[in-house]
A = this chain, B = another copy of it.
């Protein structure tokens, strides 16, 4: 009996995600979302409940994309630790937008909202971080069997990755390349 939605949720969320990615959470207004998603505020609120609801779905959308483009590729690689290095390079191009770099949406979010980050959002982010972390550990095992060494190495890699995310916004590509090369020289 009812009328059909004349938009696909996955499609409009993807558009919202890119907007949040470029601008951050606070700077992105519901009017901007309206325009970018191509739907009315009513539709937005009836589908996703709130601005935060749209953001949470955007985070999930980002995670899916990063999973496919970065994590799955890493998992499927047979190059061991070198695959992690490739992950770092892939991450930089993944977050590149024209001649700008948007960093990682998840890192941006933590950095913007800090400890005030909503628990639901924080959980989504932490879950993905753990996911990446475990994938790194799998590859590190091919290098060294020592658990303590691996633990230290993966902590090192996770922080390095955050550094890459922020630095890509302010540093030259050559500096990022220097960094990545240095990171894996030490591994």
- Size band of the interface chain A makes with B: 35 or more
Q: How many copies does the complex hold?
A: 2
Tell me the smallest distance from the CB of A53 to a CB of chain B, in Å.
20
Which of A3-11, A43-51, A65-73, A148-156 lies on the face that meets chain B?
Answer: A148-156
Assuming the A-B contacts A115-B100, A182-B186, are A162 and B166 also in contact, with contact meaning beta carbons closer than 8 angstroms in the complex? yes
How far, in angstroms, from A164 to B160 measured CA to CA in the complex?
8
* Other-chain residue from B110, B176, B178, B181 in contact with A170 (beta carbon distance below 8 A): B110
Q: What 0/1 pattern do residues 29 to 57 of A give for CB contact below 8 A with B?
A: 00000000000000000000000000000
Closest CB in chain B relative to A23 CB, distance in Å? 8
* B166 adjacent to A114 (CB under 8 Å): no
Known: A100-B115, A108-B111. Is A167-B178 also a contact (CB below 8 A)?
Answer: no
Contact B167 A159, beta carbon cutoff 8 Å = yes
- Beyond A24-B112, A152-B181, A186-B185, whether A175 also contacts B159 by CB under 8 A is yes
Task: List CB contacts (< 8 Å) of A157-176 with chain B.
Answer: 158-167, 169-171, 174-176
Q: Chain A 82-120 against B: per-residue CB contact (8 Å), 1 yes, 0 no?
A: 000000000000000000101100011011101110000
CA distance A160 to B165 in the complex (A): 11
Evaluate contact between B179 and A159: CB separation under 8 angstroms.
yes
Residues of B within 8 A of A107 (CB): 111, 166
Judge whether A167 and B171 touch: CB under 8 Å.
Answer: no
Cβ of A144 under 8 Å from chain B: no
Closest to A163 in B: B163
Q: Given A111-B111, A175-B158, verify A152-B182 contact (CB < 8 Å).
A: yes
Q: Which 4 pairs between the two chains have the least Cβ-Cβ distance? A: A163-B163, A155-B178, A156-B182, A159-B179
